[in-house]
Structure 1
Amino acid sequence: MCLSALFITSKDGEPSPIRLATGDVHAVSLAHFENATVWRARFSLPADRSSEYDWNGETYRVAGDLTGDFRLAYVSCNGEEVGDMAREGSERNAMWSRLREAHRRQPFALMLHGGDQVYADEVTEGHALSADWPDTLPRDPSRAALADLGHYLRERFFARYAALYDAPELAWLAARVPSLMQWDDHDICDGWGSLRRSRTYSPVGQTLFAAARESFLLFQQAATEDDFPARFADRSGAHMGWSIHMPGLRIIAPDLRSERTRRDIMGPGGWAMMEAEAVRDLPGQTILMSSVPLLGPRLSLLEAGMMAVPRMQKYEDDLRDQWQSRAHREEWRRMLLLVRDMALKDQHNVAAISGEIHLATRAVMDIGNGLHLHQLVASGIAHRAPPKAWARALGALSWLGENPLPDHPIRVACLPGQRARYVAERNYLVLERQDSTWRAWWELEVSGATPALQL
């Protein structure tokens, strides 16, 4: 396993080296901020057994055996749109604490983060150019004013990531479980890519995206613009989709934000990556990380109804974010066909895991030949659950069914042990391989762990 350890120090500080049996590994500085420096140390640990490393007088065990039985954790939506920085820590990180205790009982080999690792919606507040983003924009800001905005946003992104990573529950886990991350809209701003082009392609919008992108690379990938990790499909960075291949398992994480427009979820680079994965010969399990759910109810009906009510039109970007949006129907079919072909090629089921909706749910698409696409939604790890009435409304909508591909019906199903199709509780997902068989279960904040679902 090729790993990166991320450090944040005072501006003039420097982290102690990582100590391995093979020698010391010293960190290199990646970025400087007003009062801090971000560092990275790259090193390798075995992928066929558990191992450890030492840092600052403490030993960190890593359950790195990816060749036999192991467990993965999946989390998403680590925050809230308003007031997240002011929340009390033990309440905010209650599910992180539960995940930490689960790791102590039986270690996780990897932690998958499915989007909205940080809620950056408030970073635009307090600067003259972005204070009313995205409703009002300056007509012709000067280069000096945009440079000042870029500096302001960069420091605000830093403050949020630093505060999140300083939380003891997450910090403890992140030092012991390797993380693989993809981003979603709140890592940039609410609805990025589904907003009007006059917003996202404006000088202010592009300045915001640049600051968010640099922060994503630094704090979620321990990387810089000229130093992408090997797992990324596009070394130019036009999109930041990646894939990992290991014995009997492939994890694919397309980037659903970098190339997104109001008409397109992915651009040429993202589709080229997915098409290349579809023709690979990779027996075993495929896990597709889709930051927004790939399977779900007929949200296009809800979208049409909302557009007919002026007060509800402000939620248009939330529904346009979804694969099921009327604007993305053909693209949705294209992705489902690729996933179907992956499954039929190697005769294995595919699991799509997603966050985004702040609820726990699942769905199934019949692929044929006895194979299925399982959609598992776990959201969120820190975002508080929406009203139960919203979960019931989505459950009622799901009874209508959906059939974007002929002969491949989609069914929204209840979680194991639950009577409702959508569960309004904070949650995370566990995926486990035992004797080449995969199963998954949800850890729900109130209801506890669900029975396991065979994949």
Structure 2
Amino acid sequence: MTDRITRPIGPVLILDDIRDGRMHLSALFVMPGDDAPAPIGTPDGPVAPILLDRTGQGAVWRARFDLPADRGSVYDWDGQRFDVAGDLTGDLRLAFVSCNGEEVGDLDREGSERNAMWSRLRDDHRREPFALMLHGGDQIYADEVTRGHPLSDGWPDDLPDAPSDAALADLARHLREGFWARYLAIYAAPELAWLAARVPSLMQWDDHDICDGWGSLRRSRTESAVGRTLFAEARAACLLFQHAAVDGDLPPRFADPAGGHLGWRLRLPGLRILAPDLRSERQRRRIMGPGGWAMMRDEAARPAAGHSLLISSVPLLGPRMSLFEAAMIAIPRMQKYEDDLRDQWQSRAHRDEWRRMLVVMRDIAQADGHAVTAVSGEIHLATRATMDLEGGRLLHQLVASGIAHRAPPAAWARTLGALSILGEDPLPGHPIRIRPLPGQRSRYVAERNYLTLTRRDGSWQGRWHLERSGVTEPLSLD
């Protein structure tokens, strides 16, 4: 876990904000030893990075700078030139990815196999550049970070009653090294590294960025001293590596500058992106807390032109999961999967809250001339769904998952497809239907994948890029 890096990692571009016709960016670097990264060269002059944090593995540095948001531009670093497709005003192309890893042994996987879809995404950008890269959760799989320490080896089932402050401090060190190791590994992968230096990223975390099922586990686990230490180290690593930030220094797109939750919103010309945090305030019987709901209420009350894109790390529209939950409670050997189902909006534990979110998104979608699309990951399959709105319009849900996580058995996809035939109707008059991808016969596709979203002449389309089946036909989202 404590292996030191031997060469620089980065730059990794993070989009902090858009204002005054400019993209405000952070460039993240991880440097070996006491080395400092060279300044970023911009059209307005050099920008020197500042030190954010350091462990025995390396040091994280950040340079904040801005580029035009109405045309392509360049920056340079350490003798390299990086082109950025920064025109956000007209035709636009976005990439959406999720589930960049696996629960067991992810650091030991062979690189070309693990990152095969990242390689395709890189080649895709070379053919037709992306303006932004959206990461919809599980950027890392941190499930194994608790191993190897006496306080957390038994997580989440066997925890110490009253660990000492010294033991908890040692646990925090151990966990921090584990989180760093995973972020450093993914950012050092050449396929992602090439893209990340040229396409600004926007990220939203999910459970595996903390641990499997965070927030759906029992509160005796998450509120224990070990659980609180685990969350604190996961959150610090998320801020550092996913947002190039630390507490007290969050970018303006965050709804809560104090970081009580990590939800954010961003406005581009003709496009609003909403990314509520579905983990920081989560409990077994709620998905979002007061901070997250305040953000959604505020955004629903603000007029927005064009299209709203909701990043919901778990799918907003899905099949009737309550049937699975009832079966799992009745079968003792299946009860270990209860937390996986409780993670979903469709869980019977979250039914009222799910309706509340659907009402918010329906009201946004019914604003004059507005359209809403939800994009999600989490389930390691590709699928889509719709919810009927007034006037024959649809709220679209697109699921692309995962870019590195290998697909589950095809039998699981068929099981979900059979369940989805029953339909779902949480809001009277607004039925939800799970639908096949364009050109596919089944409702769920068990292949690794990523999604591209394209705006041409003001109209939006989505395409799935499937590992074996190739690229789907475009799906109109207007």
Aligned length: 455
Aligned to 1:60: 82
Aligned to 1:101: 123
Aligned to 1:150: 172
Partner AA of 2:124 in structure 1: A
Aligned to 2:200: 178
Q: 1:221 aligns with which of 243, 258, 262?
A: 243
Aligned to 2:355: 333
* Alpha-carbon separation, structure 2, partners of 1:17 and 1:307: 57
Aligned to 2:315: 293
**CA positional deviation for 1:35:** 3.3
Aligned to 2:435: 413
2:374 aligned with 1:348: no
- 1:276-425 aligned at under 5 Å gives the runs 276-425=298-447
**3-state SS of 1:135 partner:** coil
* Alpha-carbon separation, structure 2, partners of 1:391 and 1:34: 43
Aligned to 1:81: 103
User: Is the 1:348–1:371 Cα contact (8 Å) retained in structure 2?
Assistant: no
**CA positional deviation for 1:348:** 2.0
**3-state SS of 1:335 partner:** helix
Q: Deviations over 1:27-66 (max 9, x none)?
A: 0000010131100000000000000000010100000000
Aligned to 1:274: 296
2:461 aligned with 1:439: yes
**CA positional deviation for 1:436:** 0.3
User: Is the 1:347–1:371 Cα contact (8 Å) retained in structure 2?
Assistant: no
Partner AA of 1:256 in structure 2: L
* Alpha-carbon separation, structure 2, partners of 1:429 and 1:68: 20
Aligned to 2:6: none
**CA positional deviation for 1:370:** 2.7
User: Is the 1:282–1:346 Cα contact (8 Å) retained in structure 2?
Assistant: no
* Alpha-carbon separation, structure 2, partners of 1:410 and 1:349: 17
**CA positional deviation for 1:371:** 2.1
Unaligned 5+ runs, structure 2: 1-22
Aligned to 1:47: 69
CA RMSD of aligned residues (A): 0.6
Aligned to 2:5: none
- For normalisation by structure 1, the TM-score amounts to 0.99
Aligned to 1:201: 223
**CA positional deviation for 1:11:** 2.6
* Alpha-carbon separation, structure 2, partners of 1:266 and 1:207: 21
**3-state SS of 1:345 partner:** coil
Q: 1:165 aligns with which of 187, 195, 200?
A: 187
* Alpha-carbon separation, structure 1, partners of 2:427 and 2:435: 19
Evaluate the alpha carbon distance shift between residue 242 and residue 346 of structure 1 in structure 2; reply closer, same or farther with a 3 A threshold: farther
**3-state SS of 1:85 partner:** helix
Unaligned 5+ runs, structure 1: none
Q: 2:94 aligns with which of 65, 68, 72?
A: 72
* Alpha-carbon separation, structure 2, partners of 1:329 and 1:301: 13
Aligned to 2:268: 246
**CA positional deviation for 1:346:** 3.3
**3-state SS of 1:180 partner:** strand
Aligned to 1:27: 49
**CA positional deviation for 1:367:** 1.4
Aligned to 1:11: 33
* Alpha-carbon separation, structure 1, partners of 2:73 and 2:148: 46
User: Is the 1:281–1:346 Cα contact (8 Å) retained in structure 2?
Assistant: no
**3-state SS of 1:337 partner:** helix
* Alpha-carbon separation, structure 1, partners of 2:322 and 2:80: 53
* Alpha-carbon separation, structure 1, partners of 2:67 and 2:472: 33
Partner AA of 1:336 in structure 2: L
Partner AA of 2:305 in structure 1: P
Q: 1:192 aligns with which of 214, 232, 238?
A: 214
- For normalisation by structure 2, the TM-score amounts to 0.95
**CA positional deviation for 1:300:** 1.0
**CA positional deviation for 1:236:** 1.2
* Alpha-carbon separation, structure 2, partners of 1:217 and 1:305: 38
- Matched-pair identity in %: 70
* Alpha-carbon separation, structure 1, partners of 2:275 and 2:71: 25
* Alpha-carbon separation, structure 1, partners of 2:448 and 2:391: 35
User: Is the 1:11–1:33 Cα contact (8 Å) retained in structure 2?
Assistant: no
